[in-house]
Structure 1
Amino acid sequence: MEIILIRHEKAEALQEGKTDRERHLTDSGVLAMQAVVPALKAHLGTAPVLLWTSPAVRARETATVIIEALDLEPATEHDFIYTGEFAKFEAALVDLDVSDDAKLLIFGHEPTLSDWIHKLTGEHVKMKKGDMASLYLTSESPFTANYSGKI
C-alpha cells in the first residue's frame, strides 16, 4: 500500500478567541492546493483511494479541495493525526483491510508528518505547506516503508 502524506496549505494566523484547530485555509492556500490536483490525479491513477484527515479545519479544508476535484469519498477524521500519536496511527493501519495497490492519503501537519516519515523510513524529510510525500509500506510488523519522494 502506498501512503501519501499531505501537509495542509497556508492557513490564517491564530486569532484571539480561536484555537489552533479552528484556523482556516487562506484563499491563496486553497488556490495553491487546487494547483497540485493534476499531479496528484496522475499519480493516483485508477487505484482505490482512502482518505484520512486531522480534525483541524485547515487539514479538513485541504482534504475537501482534493475530494471535490477528484470526486473521492469523504475523509475519515482521526485525532491522532493532529496530535501526532504514532502508536495510534500504527493501530489504525493494522485495522485497514485494503488491497496492496490501494493509496491512503493522510492530510495533516508539521512536525507530525516529517516525524512519521522518519519513523517509517529513517529518512529526514521536511514537509512544507502543500507538500505531498509518497511512502510504500514494506513491512507491517513493525511498520516500515520506503520513501519514494514528493509528488
Structure 2
Amino acid sequence: MPGHPALTRILRQHIEDEQLKPGDLLFQGENGGILAGSVIRRAWRGARQAVLPPHVFDSPTCRRVYDNRHSRLTKWLNDGVPPAQVAEWAGNSVPVLLATYARCVDGQLPDLKRRLEAAGDLPEPVEDQCADSPGARRKSS
C-alpha cells in the first residue's frame, strides 16, 4: 500500500542503515526476534496521544495499528481518489472495497453538487411532492 513520501524516506533510510535484506524484520525485538505486541501497543498509544486532539484520541479512530489501513482507505475515498485506484492500492476488488467503505465516504456532496450544476445536470428541486397526493388538503380558491 502506498505510504506518505516522508515516511517512505524514513523507512528506506532505516533499511539502509540496518543493512536489511528481503525477509529481514523491519523492527526487531530485544533479542532480534519479533517485536512484542505489548511494545507495539504502548508505542502506538503514545504516538496517538502525542499527535491527536483529546477527543480523537479518546475515540476509536486508529485505536489499533491495523486501523490505519481502514483510516487510510477511507481518507482516500473521502478525498475523491477513484475507488478503482484505492482498491488496487489496497489489494481488494472494487465491490469488496465499496461494500466495506461506501458508508464511510463523507463530505463530497457539496463538491458533487457544484460539479453537476456546472455541467447543467442537476435536477430542479421538487417543491412538495406530497401536495398533489390523494388525501392531501387542497386550498380552496
Bin of the TM-score, shorter chain as denominator length:
under 0.3
User: Which of the two has higher C-alpha Rg?
Assistant: 2
Indicate the structure with greater helix content.
2
With the length of structure 1 as denominator, give the TM-score of the two structures.
0.24
Q: More relative contact order in 1 or in 2 (CA 8 Å, sep 6+)?
A: 1
